A and B are shown apart, each in its own frame.
Chain A
């Protein structure tokens, strides 16, 4: 199973195995990874599963659709590498993915 690493702003990190087909958000929620709230449950409606994706991984994941970018406008401190983790589906190619959670989600 692909390993996904979630780290926070202070460098604390947790690496968990996430089944392919689940989202990076679901991987966090199911493994009690702190820093991802996902208040809307993954319907791309709240921007509280916001993560920063390491540059080198950005090209390996599908580009965000417009609605996701619109929602990222609402996120806490959005950056160029901001994504909503509910929209990142885990595949074998994403084994080793590192995402950083923002200082806070809301």
Chain B
């Protein structure tokens, strides 16, 4: 059981700035995210795309913004729990208890949900058979390379993940690389490596085609059928299917926590960004109130105000004093500035 003043769900820009706003008030937060690193949509969807509307930063990428936010909250030594999705939220007197899909428990008087549009999960193949074999012979990520040795592997996708794994696994397995169009999008070096492996017959490229069927025998995948744009169907001997169609955002269990929701967003009070549950706040893309704009800067404002209410709940016997970072000795101490 990990205890804190505030549990932050989501390590995107808004969750990270929440750590800062809580930290300068002397509150300890922990951050939980389903991805393996901080940044949320900034890192997962547009790491290289420029952002032009962060105040006082004329231009930066999603990756740079994340890096700078992490730098800004360094003094608070916050604990991050990655690769964990919050499944349950339960009340225990004045405290909230969170359970993750890794069976870890967290306890705090406050929760800030800065979950964007939900947690990122791999986009899955739509064939029913794919679901049946998921985790056995259909995969959306490679965890242990050894499992993929000396197999007939069919890889779907045209981006970096598909190309990188095709190259890596071609060292010890037979690879079919299957994509819906002839163009792949990857680093030039990767593309030339792929061409080389294709010449050596280690990677067989099948384009433009898509998965049509999975054939099985005695509960094992034996082959797949792909359909070309011209309607031609080809059967390919396959033991393992790897699919890399990127990540999608799923709201997931948040919908079951008893919060007032409006489509995929959580209703909040715009004075303190509290939800209908005392001590549970929502900020960033996931919250909704009259006039809400889905901007990073709006999220920053939202967590600043939520942090005040969090303070009142975490320190019921202390009076909240608003202070400026430029002049407050307390804050500067917390930031490690002498």
B117 located at the interface, meaning its Cβ lies under 8 Å from any Cβ of chain A in the complex = yes
Given contacts A39-B248, A74-B246, contact A46 B45 (CB under 8 A): yes
Q: Does B159 contact A (CB under 8 A)?
A: yes
Once the chains are docked, how many angstroms separate the CA of A80 from the CA of B230? 11
Q: Is A3 part of the binding interface, using a Cβ–Cβ cutoff of 8 Å?
A: no
Q: Are A77 and B126 in contact (CB under 8 A)?
A: yes
The number of chain B residues touching the other chain, given as a range, is 20 to 34
Contact A74 B46 (CB under 8 A): no
Cα–Cα distance between A10 and B179 once the two chains are bound (Å): 28
Contact B46 A43 (CB under 8 A): yes
Q: Is the CB of B123 within 8 A of A74?
A: yes
Query: Within the complex, what minimum Cβ distance (angstroms) separates B312 from chain A?
Result: 32
0/1 per residue, B248-268, Cβ < 8 Å to A? 111000000000000000000
Q: Is the CB of A73 within 8 A of B41?
A: no
Cβ A106 vs Cβ B45 within 8 A: no
The residue in chain A whose Cβ has the minimal distance to the Cβ of B118 is A39
| A43, B45: Cβ atoms closer than 8 Å | yes
Give CA–CA (A40, B12) in the complex, Å.
Answer: 14
B185-A40 in contact (CB<8A):
no
How far in angstroms is the closest Cβ of chain A from B124?
9
A59-93 interface code vs B (CB 8 A; 1 in, 0 out) = 00000001001100110111010000000000000
Tell me if A48 is interfacial: C-beta within 8 Å of chain B: yes
Q: Does B180 contact A (CB under 8 A)?
A: yes
Kindly report which residue of chain A lies nearest to residue B249, judged by CB atoms.
Answer: A39
B23 / chain A contacts, CB cutoff of 8 Å: none
Given A40-B45, A45-B41, A46-B45, decide whether A73 and B245 contact each other with a Cβ distance below 8 A. Answer: yes
Contacting pair A76 B46 (CB below 8 A): no
**Inter-subunit contact A45/B45 (CB<8 Å):** yes
State the Cβ distance, B159 to closest chain A Cβ, in Å. Answer: 7
Q: Which residues on A sit within 8 Å (CB–CB) of B37?
A: none
Q: Most chain-A CB neighbours within 10 Å: which of B123, B157, B229, B250? A: B123
- Cβ-based interface call for A21 (8 A): no
For A73, the chain B residues whose CB sits under 8 A away are 157-159, 179-181, 185, 245-246
A96 an interface residue at 8 Å Cβ cutoff?
no
Say yes or no: is B235 at the interface (Cβ < 8 Å to chain A).
no
Bound-complex Cα distance A41 to B46 (A): 13
Q: Is the CB of A46 within 8 A of B159?
A: no
Interface contact A46-B180, CB-CB below 8 Å: no
Contact between A76 and B159, CB atoms less than 8 A apart: no
- Cα A43 to Cα B245 in complex, Å, equals 18
The answer to whether the Cβ of B74 comes within 8 Å of any Cβ in the partner chain is no
Residue among A41, A73, A74, A106 with the highest chain B CB neighbour number at 10 A: A73
Q: Is the CB of B294 closer than 8 A to any CB of chain A?
A: yes
Contacts of B181 in A (CB 8 A): 69, 73
Partner of A106, one of B159, B250, B294: B250
Which residues of chain A have C-beta atoms less than 8 A from B210's C-beta?
77-78
A40, B246: Cβ atoms under 8 Å? no
B225 CB to nearest A CB, Å: 16
- Give the shortest distance, in Å, between A106 (CB) and chain B (any CB): 4
**A-chain residues with CB within 8 Å of residue B249 when the two chains form the complex:** 39, 46, 106
Contact indicator A106/B185 (Cβ below 8 Å): no
Nearest CB of A to B206, in Å: 15
Q: Which of A's residues lie within 8 Å of B, judged by CB?
A: 39-41, 43, 45-48, 66, 69-70, 73-74, 76-78, 80, 103-104, 106
- Which B positions have Cβ atoms within 8 angstroms of A? 41, 45-46, 49, 117, 123, 126, 157-159, 179-181, 183, 185, 210, 229, 245-246, 248-250, 285, 294
- Sampled A-B contacts (9; CB under 8 Å): A39-B117, A39-B249, A48-B248, A66-B185, A70-B159, A70-B185, A74-B159, A77-B210, A80-B229
